[in-house]
């Protein structure tokens, strides 16, 4: 019994420090790892952004451990570290780093003046590779955008992707898990706890994801934020009107827009704009809003019912595909632009991608039955290289492109 207690103690503490992670997801190869490794010691600071709990610290640990004793780990969660790094002088930074060649600053957004600190490191210690992680673009991007202009590589890490899970578990297994993904999403902790998804998802949706927002003085009404998130969760796949949403939650359209902007900056939701090239009957200023993860969306509305008994399967399917495609575009670094398309007389296309002036149009259908015709107006006005209907029968091909 005593031996079991000792082993349990070390597992917990090793997991906290990142030395040992007792789960299968630690072995899942993240797409960003190879990309970031290829940028090491290329003369720029690396910023690794993304929602909380998606594996940024784990990835940073893997990279740091490659340098054994030559790496230095600093955390913005540690008050002593924050005190040392806040508006630090060059002399203090040199003394802190010493002979180390790889420096990680985890949760860097918590450190006041981190942008200037990173600039000092970049400009005066070119032999040192610095990697900073952050869960909020509110703080880290705003602090580093000007000081690190031309001095950084910036990457967005998101929940596990179809491609990552398929490579790790096999295509057949991942296809078989589709209904589970639509309901519970793909956060690493969720993948690692089959059968115990509800508690960590509720914790994510009710605590972790809002943590950075609640620290802000400008967020004076947390209850309003939660009402807006819930309203957005019920409107996934539909066009969102700030005016109508404001009426629903008793707030002005300007306040609603500000809160949605904040939700985007902590990577809970993202917007998809309407495509318009000034054709008279095209919708121009509309937008759809999606969640980065289906599980978080379902936790927000408190519904983890299986797909077979749900009335929102279509929106869940659309959110899953659009969010997965967002991961694909981010990791491929193609800088593809994404839209939806609709006219005033209700002609529409679920999802459109633009790259180098050429367009690809996609319709999402949970059921493969029935024919879908892409509007002739769209095909005539745009240089369309592909149209495709994405269903559960062929979605893996689309996500594996």
pTM score, whole prediction: 0.88
CATH number of the 2-156 domain: 3.40.50.300
The predicted model gives 101-108 an average pLDDT of 96
Q: What is the pLDDT of residue 186?
A: 97
Query: CB–CB of 132/57 below 8 Å?
Result: no
Domain ranges of the chain: 2-156, 162-195+263-399
Q: Is the alpha carbon torsion for 316, 322, 326, 328 positive or negative?
A: positive
Judging by DSSP bridges, how do beta strands 287-291 and 269-274 pair with one another? Answer: antiparallel
- Mean pLDDT check: name the lowest of 3-17, 67-81, 97-111: 3-17
Position 23 pLDDT exceeds 70: no
Task: For residue 67, give the DSSP letter.
Answer: T
Q: Tens digits of per-residue pLDDT, 309-361? A: 999 999 999 999 999 999 999 999 988 999 999 998 889 999 999 999 999 99
Please give the pLDDT value at position 381.
Answer: 92
| pLDDT at position 7 over 80 | no
Nearest by Cα to 262 from 298, 212, 302, 296: 212
Question: Looking at the DSSP assignment, which residues form a beta bridge with residue 338?
Answer: 353
CB burial class (10 A; 0-12, 13-18, 19+) of residue 222? exposed
**Confidence category of residue 213, pLDDT binned at 50, 70, 90:** confident
What is the model's pLDDT at position 3? 35
Q: Which of 325, 307, 251, 315 is nearest to 289 (CA)?
A: 315
The answer to whether residue 215 scores a pLDDT higher than 90 is no
pLDDT, one tens digit per residue, over 66-85 is 999 999 999 999 999 999 99
Task: For the chain, report the end-to-end CA distance as a whole number of angstroms.
Answer: 51
Rounded CA gap, 299 and 226, in Å?
Answer: 12
Pairing of strands 337-342, 348-355: antiparallel
Q: In Å, how far are 118, 262, 342 from 319, measured between CA atoms?
A: 36, 20, 18
Which among 234, 226, 255, 259 is positioned nearest to 243, based on CA atoms?
255
CA nearest to 142, candidates 177, 182, 112, 183: 112
The reported pLDDT for the residue numbered 87 is: 83
| Maximum Cα interatomic distance, the chain, rounded to a whole number of Å | 76
Q: Is the dihedral of CA 309, 312, 315, 320 positive or negative?
A: negative
Q: Which residues pair with 45 in a beta bridge?
A: 152
- pLDDT of 9: 34
């Amino acid at each position: 019994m005593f031996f079991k207690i000792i082993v349990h103690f070390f597992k917990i503490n090793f997991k906290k420090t990142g030395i040992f992670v007792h789960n299968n997801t630690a072995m899942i190869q993240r797409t960003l790892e190879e990309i970031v490794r290829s940028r090491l010691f290329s003369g720029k600071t690396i910023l690794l952004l993304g929602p909380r709990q998606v594996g940024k610290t784990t990835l940073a640990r893997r990279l740091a451990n490659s340098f054994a004793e030559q790496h230095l780990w600093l955390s913005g969660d540690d008050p002593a570290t924050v005190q040392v790094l806040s508006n630090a002088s060059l002399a203090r930074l040199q003394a802190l780093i010493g002979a180390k060649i790889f420096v990680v600053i985890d949760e860097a957004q918590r450190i006041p003046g981190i942008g200037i600190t990173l600039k000092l490191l970049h400009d005066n210690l070119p032999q040192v590779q610095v990697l900073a992680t952050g869960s909020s673009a509110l703080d880290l991007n705003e602090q580093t955008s000007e000081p690190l202009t031309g001095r950084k590589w910036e990457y967005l890490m998101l929940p596990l992707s179809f491609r990552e899970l398929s490579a790790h578990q096999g295509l057949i297994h991942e296809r078989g898990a589709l209904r589970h993904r639509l309901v519970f999403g793909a956060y690493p902790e969720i993948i690692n706890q089959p059968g115990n998804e509800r508690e960590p998802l509720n914790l994510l949706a009710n605590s972790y994801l809002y943590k950075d927002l609640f620290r802000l003085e400008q967020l004076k009404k947390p209850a309003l934020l939660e009402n807006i998130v819930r309203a957005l969760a019920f409107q996934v796949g539909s066009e969102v009107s700030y005016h109508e949403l404001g009426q629903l939650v008793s707030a002005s359209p300007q306040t609603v827009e500000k809160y949605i902007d904040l939700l985007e900056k902590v990577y809970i939701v993202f917007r998809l704009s309407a495509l318009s090239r000034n054709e008279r009957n095209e919708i121009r200023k509309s937008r759809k809003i999606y969640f980065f993860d289906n599980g978080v969306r379902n936790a927000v509305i408190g519904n983890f019912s299986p797909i077979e008994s749900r009335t929102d399967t279509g929106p869940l399917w659309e959110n899953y595909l659009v969010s997965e495609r967002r991961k694909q575009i981010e990791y491929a670094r193609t800088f593809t632009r994404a839209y939806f398309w609709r006219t005033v007389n209700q002609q529409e296309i679920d999802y459109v991608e633009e790259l180098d002036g050429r367009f690809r149009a996609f319709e999402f259908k949970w059921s493969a039955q029935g024919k879908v015709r892409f509007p002739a107006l769209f095909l005539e006005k745009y240089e369309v290289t592909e149209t495709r209907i994405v269903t559960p029968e062929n979605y893996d091909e689309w996500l594996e492109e």
